[in-house]
A and B are shown apart, each in its own frame.
Chain A
Amino acid sequence: MDEVEPVAIVNRSPVVAQMPPPPVDDWVSRLRDDVHRHEATRELHQLMLRAARHQIARMPEGRDLGWARREEIVHAAADEATSSVLSRLGRFEGRSRFTTWAYKFAILQTAVEVRRSAWRQRETDLEALGEPVSDATGPEAYAESSDLTRAMREAIDHALTDHQRHVAIALLVEGVPIDVLAERLGSTRNSLYKTLHDARVRLRDDLTTRGYLGFATSEEAVS
């Protein structure tokens, strides 16, 4: 058998060396280019660090975490965001600047971890959050009650499912961040937001029917 000439194997180095480098702002090309990938990835990581630091600095929850923990979160988020961006390069469609598109991954990673870290030590009896609220007694409850608030309590108890009540009270009354609640319930941010959306529609419909609101959700009017 004749030896096969390795025509498919080409020494690309001289060719690559003759080609002009991609423009500095052509992130996708640089991150895919054999020659420029390493430097571009390093720059991307710096970009992700910047976004992570920006996000953690604007979150009140981050201030009590301590410098070391904040730095840990920033670097972990930047690492994770860099990986996320690199694995999704094919999905970048140029609808925004590459940097704006990439920032959002670092912002998300940082925000989620700060919320979870801030709530890690807080005890919240999530199991009790599905209890009825309209049978409340005590001066504070009555002092805060307008007709609408009293009607709201009734609607929460009668118009919502147990799960909707649990999620709505945790997120909007107790102030549990959605990422924290998702983690503790073994759920997802998407799923909890859908539950909250449906709960709000039910509450508005109930209060509209009973004459407390002038209009229900705008969902039907728009879609």
Chain B
Amino acid sequence: MNERARGLTPAAAERLLVDPGPYLSCDDCFEQVDARVEALLSGASEPLTPEFRGHLVGCAACLDEAWSLAELAAQDAGVDRASVRARFEQALEPDRRPLA
């Protein structure tokens, strides 16, 4: 049996079908991530641009690193971890769910 076919579960199909939105490179994501994360923590109404949000939903590595940065920055800003997670998930919605 083809190993790739075995792995093409509905979950994998969902990951393949993520709407990537406008293209943003990993390098550009890295350049922006600190400012975006702080906008998120400050409660800005639109903290993530469509390009940035699309990249996070489409790139598991960048999402993990952005999430980690948000946790660290939140500690410095006195924001609790649960709030960070809630704000992050809200910012990634409504049009997409994160990969990780």
A residues with a Cβ closer than 8 A to B are 50-51, 54-55, 58-59, 95-97, 99-101, 103-104, 107-108, 111, 115, 128-129, 131-138, 140-141, 144, 146, 148-149, 152-153, 156, 168-169, 172-174, 177-179, 189-190, 193-194, 196-197, 199-201, 203-204, 207, 213, 217-219, 222-223
Question: Residue on A with the closest CB to B74?
Answer: A100
Q: Are A219 and B23 in contact (CB under 8 A)?
A: yes
Q: List the A side residues contacting B16 at CB < 8 Å.
A: 152, 156, 168, 172-173, 199-200, 203
Interface string of B47-77 (1 = CB under 8 A from A): 0001100110011110011001101110010
Q: Are B8 and A200 in contact (CB under 8 A)?
A: no
Complex-state Cα separation, A138 to B18, whole angstroms = 27
Complex-state Cα separation, A199 to B23, whole angstroms = 12
Picked from B5, B21, B30, B60, the residue with its CB within 8 Å of the CB of A222 is B21
Q: List the B side residues contacting A128 at CB < 8 Å.
A: 3-4
Complex-state Cα separation, A168 to B18, whole angstroms = 12
Cβ of B87 < 8 Å from any Cβ of A? Answer: no
Q: List the A side residues contacting B61 at CB < 8 Å.
A: 111, 115, 177-179, 189
- For chain B residues 8-54, which have a beta carbon within 8 Å of chain A? 8-10, 12-13, 15-23, 25-27, 30, 33-35, 37-38, 50-51, 54
Cβ of B1 < 8 Å from any Cβ of A? Answer: yes
Question: Residue on B with the closest CB to A95?
Answer: B35
The answer to whether residues A103 and B20 also contact, given A133-B5, A138-B6 and a CB cut-off of 8 A, is no
